[in-house]
Amino acid sequence: MKLLTRCSNLVEAHHWANLLRAAGIRVEVRNTWLSGAVGDIPQRETWPQLWIPLLQDESAAMAVIRAAGRDAGKLPVWRCPACGELLEGQFAQCWNCGADRPLSPSSEA
C-alpha cells in the first residue's frame, strides 16, 4: 500500500475515498481515530490518510481529487420557485421555505 494523501478531517477523507471508488480506484482510509493524540504527536500525523495499492495508478487517483476540488462550488446560483430566495448552487433545498431546487435550475447572477 502507498500513502496517497492526508486529509484535514474525516468527512473530507471519506468524501475523497467515495470519489475514488466511484472512479474504480481501490482506496483505504486510515488514521481515523488518531485525533485524540494531538499534542502527543504532531497534528498533521493525526489526520486521516488515503492509501492505495502499490500497483494502483497514483496519478489517476490524484487527478480525481484535483478535479473534485476544481468542480466544487461550480453549480449555478438558483432562485427558489416558491419564495423567490436566491440560493448558492450547492444547496438542493431552499433554506427559507424548504422547497426543493427545480430539476433544471435557472442561473441568476
Residue 39 has pLDDT above 80, yes or no: no
The three grid cell numbers given for residue 32, joined into one nine-digit string: 481515523
- Quote the radius of gyration of the chain (alpha carbons, Å): 19
Q: List, for residues 79-88, the tens digit of each pLDDT value.
A: 999 999 999 8
The least confident of 12-21, 33-42, 56-65 is 33-42
Q: How far is 15 from 107, CA to CA, in rounded Å?
A: 27
| pLDDT of the residue at 105 | 46
- Which residue reads 476540488 in cell numbers? 69
